[in-house]
Structure 1
Amino acid sequence: MKPRPRRVPFTDRLKVPGGRDGRRMLVVAVIDKVGTGLWTGAATLYFVYVAHLSIAQIGVLMGLSGILGVAGPPLAGRLADRFPVTRILVVAQLARGAALLALLTTDDYALLVLFSALGSLPDRASSVLTKLFAARVAGPHRIRYQAIQRTAVNIGWAVGAAGAAAALTVGTTASYQALLLADVASYAVIGALTFRCAEPPAPSRVVASPATGAGPSPAASDRRTSRTVPAPATPWRDRRYLAFTGSEIWLFLDDSILQVGFPLWIVHATDAPVGLAPLVLVLNSVLVIALQVPLSRFGETRAAARRLLVPIGAAFLTGGLALAASAVGGPWFATATVLLAAVAFTLAEILHSLASWELSVALAPGEAQGAYLGVHGLAQSAQRSLGPVVVGAAVGAGPFAWPVLGATLVLACLAQHRLVRPDAAPAQAAVGGAKASEAPAAGG
């Protein structure tokens, strides 16, 4: 009798960089998004039907939470340069769960605002910490790791959203509370899994040397000899990195365009069927799952990531022109052009995620990698506040606004292309002393 072949874990078949801890953190990301998908789809309805808040009160609650959450990325990045990133991430995950669980203890509006705001801070922080862990554990293969992770979390989000939709058909207080508790449980699970991960080498604490290839950081050596060392690099004085982060705010607009702009535009400006709006989001998820990993090979180095900015701009402009055209035809033409726009903006989203990931790490000096990535995390936080306003204004302005918005996104791509040109000093490696950002990633 032939022995059964050994089953190869799915994450091994994907060739996930980072070894066992890389695979474990991938599982953490999926569980996190399943829980988030369960709760996010029900959160607003929970505040309406269980906490009995008005729409205006919910708007204030979410707005204040978003404002406090902006502080999460830079704070987390700064801490991660000084303390183990895995332990900070565990604290952030448990804090998210505790803040969410606290919502069940009260229906007082002030406390609900407080707990929601306190939960937003570690929520935004955990995103940067997860990215930082990936950059350190995957090293020069970080682009492939990010692509696999982004594909996996899209699947997790879809599973969670489907579960929420099923639970919401019941519509009872108990069903809303069950979704909240399921999300809390996911935080407990990922906290335990993260705690089991080994701490990856951090450039801020371990720096390669020509003699040994690795050794204690200059700060550690100088503490023993009582010598004065230069202050570590700070992103707040790095004009190029701040300009890069500023351009990122605009390039992250694809999120608001897809989530907010498409539904509003379909309903108010086109003859396409209303049911097309949710299908756009389904199409977006399917394309991300199908294309994120295969396209990752085009962003494996700093130079390759810079080259992606040209097709990103072209995709943004194509999407804007297609949305404008969708307002002047009948139902079939409107449907076709809306779908073309959705494909274009999704392609821009996929390619930008690769370029953004690589450049944000490659431009950061190793000794302050956490602080730099924390500042870069502000771009997405700012977009979440600014994006809906910009997109809402574009919808209200009419068809001509979409090509104009697309043109501004092209200009942002061109500006970023100039900012990261190769005549600037090469970035320090993410892990160790090698120029990882310029070395091709394996496994693509």
Structure 2
Amino acid sequence: MTAAPASPPRPTGVRRLLPATRAQRILTVATFANSFGGGMFTTASVLYFTRVVGLPAGRVAVGLFGGAMAGLIAGVLVGRLADQWGAKRVHIGVMLGGGVAISCFTLIGSFWSFFAVSLVAGAVIPADEASKAPLIRGVAEGNPTLFIGYLRSVTNLALAFGSVAAGFAIQIDSRPAYLALVVCRALAYVGCGLILLRLRLPATAPDPAEEKERGWAALRDRTYLSATLVNAVLSLNYAASGFLLPLWIVGHTSAPRWMVSAVLVLNMAFVVLLQVPVSRGVHDARTAGRRMAWAGAAFAGGLMLMAFAAGTSPWTASALLLTGMGVFAFGELWYAAASYEYCFGLAPARLQGQYAGVFGLGSGAVEAVAPAVMSLLPLGMGLPGWVALSAVLLFAGLGSGPLVTWAGGRR
């Protein structure tokens, strides 16, 4: 009787926390390096522009808005280039270009020089995401949703470390300290590109059906456009946690100011620890639609709990804010997993860059107007505004699955 072959030993220790393949590990390390630099720059960039360069906060906002608008165009165009010229080559080019663009912030001295550099630098992040999508699909071994959930956990961990590093420069509060952060951000882009030189993508056989696609196929795909629309509306959740909540806690509740950091750390901990397990159950458009519905309900419930923190005692406000963020964080986890499945699962493999660029176009447009929406509704109208925002997210989540299914039937 022949003995059954022994199964390979399961990895132990630190190796259990790493991706299975060499290509996935290389992409993970590159992502960590890039995100660490992003955490440093994002935390302190506004202070650099206002305290060192001397720009008014309003003009900084105008420059950043211009960069966001440039990014809407760049993401779509670069995604298509990644499909045509090779995702690895284009993505490395984007990283090196990002290093050059960010380093130019050390040379600015006026609003117009800041605005010009912002247009280029603002285009890098959408171009990064669109050109990276085919790389993720190429190394994910058939399950990009699960792998990108892992990358999202790594990204949040790196952003946290980067924010801590930026805190030292903010405490020093000097021109050399802020300039060092800008240079480190530029080096993180370059380092990410150099790490990706070691990446080897698996060869894939051409798909005759996909080879026939010409032009902007993503813009003719009703199923994908419906998923893009739903994802764009629900992406308001990022502005709710990053823009709305700090202003609400400080200006409208009696909770201590440090509660701003507490709720954001809680949110980040949920993502780092739970994004991978939550992503495991999402494997097609049907399960993605169900998770979007759960996300919409969790967003609505979490927001209403945080809204009721106004007018209460410090202890009650703190409890409502932490509980609300816990509910809201589960919505963010479900939303992210479903969003990844829509982005990758509904896109043809050889057109992933183009499709990812179009997918990011919707959320990028919403991101540009989200601060105005938050200022008009919850911050401007109080409780009725919170109810309106919660209703929008709830119904967008509940309508996600039926809308995508209907659009697929109409295609």
Could you tell me the TM-score, scaled by structure 1's length?
0.84
1:333-352 alignment runs, 5 A limit? 333-352=316-335
The equivalent of 1:112 in structure 2 is 114
1:120 to 1:245, Cα distance in 2 relative to 1, 3 A: same
Residue equivalent to 1:405 = 389
Inter-CA distance 10–235: structure 2 relative to 1 (3 Å threshold): farther
- Which residue of the partner structure matches residue 53 of structure 1? 55
| Cα distance in 2 between the residues matched to 1:233 and 1:335 | 49
Please state how far the C-alpha of 1:115 moved relative to its aligned partner.
Answer: 1.4
* Structure 1 pair 110–262 and aligned structure 2 pair: CA distance change class (3 A): same
Shift of 1:409: 1.0
1:25 matched residue in structure 2: 27
Asked if the contact 2:138–2:201 (Cα under 8 Å) also holds between the matched residues in 1, the reply is no
Q: Which moved more, 1:277-286 or 1:360-369?
A: 360-369
| 1:291 aligned to which of 261, 269, 274 | 274
Contact residue 145 and residue 344 of structure 2 kept, 8 A: no
Whether the 8 Å CA contact 1:101–1:180 is kept in 2: the answer is yes
Match in the other structure for 1:325: 308
Matched ranges for 1:338-417 at <5 A: 338-393=321-376, 394-417=378-401
In 2: Cα distance, 1:392 partner to 1:345 partner:
19
State the match for 2:16 in structure 1: 13
Displacement of 1:201 in angstroms is 4.5
Opposite residue 42 of structure 1, the aligned amino acid is: A
* 8 Å contact kept, 1:232–1:367: no
Between 191-200 and 348-357, report the one with greater CA deviation.
Answer: 191-200
Distance 2:189 2:214 in 1: 36
Rounded Cα–Cα distance in structure 2 between residues aligned with 1:21 and 1:103: 33
Of 231-240 and 306-315, the range deviating more from structure 2: 231-240
For residue 185 of structure 2, give the secondary structure of its aligned residue in structure 1.
helix
TM-superposition CA deviations, 1:21-67 (whole Å, max 9, x none): 11100011111011111111121111122212122221221121111
Q: Cα–Cα, structure 1 residues 218 and 176, in superposed 2: closer, same or farther, change >3 Å? A: closer
TM-score scaled by length of structure 2: 0.91
Query: In structure 1, how many angstroms separate the alpha carbons of the residues matched to 2:157 and 2:110?
Result: 35
Tell me how far 1:136 sits from its aligned partner: 2.2
The residue type paired with residue 391 of structure 1 is: M
CA distance 1:116–1:243, shift in 2 (3 Å): same
Partner of 2:189 in structure 1? 187
Using the alignment, how far apart are the partners of 1:386 and 1:11 within structure 2?
A: 42
Q: Give, as a single letter, the amino acid of the residue that structure 1 aligns with 2:298.
A: A
Partner of 1:435: none
Which is further off, 40-49 or 267-276? 267-276
Matched to 1:280, the amino acid is: V
Taking the TM superposition and a 5 Å limit, the aligned residue runs for 1:185-334 are: 185-201=187-203, 206-208=205-207, 219=211, 231=214, 234-334=217-317
Secondary structure of 2:142's counterpart equals: helix
Question: C-alpha separation between the residues in 2 aligned to 1:421 and 1:106?
Answer: 50
- Name the CA shift for 1:7/1:139 in 2 (closer, same or farther; >3 Å): closer
Residues in 2 aligned to 1:395 and 1:245: alpha-carbon distance in whole angstroms? 27
Give the Cα separation in 2 of the matches to 1:133 and 1:57. 36
Residue number in structure 2 paired with 1:95: 97
Kindly indicate whether residue 134 of structure 2 is the aligned counterpart of residue 132 of structure 1.
yes
Once the two structures are TM-superposed, the CA of residue 15 in structure 1 deviates from its matched residue by 5.5
- Shift, 1:145, TM fit: 0.7
Q: 1:323·1:399 contact (CA, 8 Å) conserved in 2?
A: no
1:440 corresponds to = none
1:327 deviates by: 2.1
1:145-195 CA distances to partner (integer Å, 9 max, x unpaired)?
111111111110010100000122111111111111111111121111112
How many equivalent residue pairs? Answer: 402
Distance 1:10 1:252 in 2: 36
Structure 1 window deviating more from structure 2 (124-133 vs 279-288): it is 124-133
| CA distance, structure 2, for counterparts of residue 40 and residue 237 of structure 1 | 36
CA deviation after TM superposition for structure 1 residue 366, in Å: 3.4
Change (3 A) 1:33 1:165: same
Kept in 1: contact 2:293–2:399 (CA 8 A): no
Q: Please, what is the CA RMSD of the aligned residues?
A: 2.5
1:421 aligned onto 2:396:
no
**For 2:132 and 2:310, how far apart are their aligned partners in 1?**
41
Cα offset, 1:106, TM superposition: 3.6
Q: Which amino acid aligns with 1:207?
A: P
Residue 414 of structure 1 aligns with an amino acid whose one-letter code is L
Structure 2 Cα separation of the partners of residues 126 and 11 of structure 1:
29
The CA distance in 1 between the partners of 2:50 and 2:108, in whole Å, is 14
Shift of 1:292: 0.8
Q: Is the 8 A contact 1:254 1:349 kept in 2?
A: yes
1:112-156 CA distances to partner (integer Å, 9 max, x unpaired)?
211121111122210222233112211422122111111111110
Distance (whole Å) between structure 2 residues aligned to residue 254 and residue 191 of structure 1: 30
SS where residue 420 of structure 1 aligns? Answer: helix
- Structure 1 pair 87/230, CA: closer, same or farther in 2 (3 Å)? closer
Name whichever structure is richer in helix by fraction.
Answer: 2
CA contact (8 A) 1:232 1:368 kept: no
Q: Distance in 1 between matches of 2:196 and 2:366?
A: 28
Shift in CA distance, 367/178, structure 1 to aligned 2, threshold 3 Å? closer
Does the aligned pair in 1 maintain the 2:288–2:401 contact within 8 Å?
no
Q: CA, structure 1 residues 389+230, in 2 after alignment: closer, same or farther (shift >3 Å)?
A: closer
CA contact (8 A) 2:71 2:125 kept: yes
